Structure 1
Amino acid sequence: MRVLCAVAMIALLAGPAYAQTAPIQKYGDPDKEKTQGEIEAEKRAEKAYQRSLGNVPNASGPVDPWGNVRSGDAQKTAAKPAPEKRSKPANPPN
């Protein structure tokens, strides 16, 4: 009897908790129509984003954060030697 009562309590508590979940849009369902307030909020957010892009300074060339660690006389890029042209051996090993 206790087991039956416990199962009934769990079932009764799970119903309202399941009902509180938001519905998920399924694949192929049409998008919900946006309210006028949502449309205006998106426009304000887009304008604020564009204004914030104007506050970002332009890059004035490549930035080297490790430049003060490297010595000044070291080459900026290590030059790779040209690979030697290999010729096919007369007698292959196999």
Structure 2
Amino acid sequence: PAPEPAAAAPAPATSAAPAGAHVQTAAMPGTITNIHVAVGDKVEVNQPVMVLEAMKMENEVVAEQAGTIASINVAKGDMVNPGDELFSIA
């Protein structure tokens, strides 16, 4: 039999964040249970932005820097893995 064709390399991941924006990623696997902000909202350092439930514990994801929410890349109920983009701040 003929050998199987090599699988195509996956496309490089593209970011939904605008150029120059600070991207925050998930620190652990879990489910997004609540989102407290919308695109365009101003946030301060350590302001709660969303809630990530992992192992039956709710973990608040807070803004790492002050600015304006430039993108939200998840929705309530989404499952995320470590490193997945959650939101960006410009």
TM-score bracket, shorter-length normalisation: under 0.3
Structure exhibiting the larger radius of gyration computed from Cα positions: 1
State the TM-score, normalizing by the size of structure 1: 0.19
State the TM-score, normalizing by the size of structure 2: 0.20
Which is richer in strand? 2
Higher relative contact order (CA 8 A, sep 6+): 2
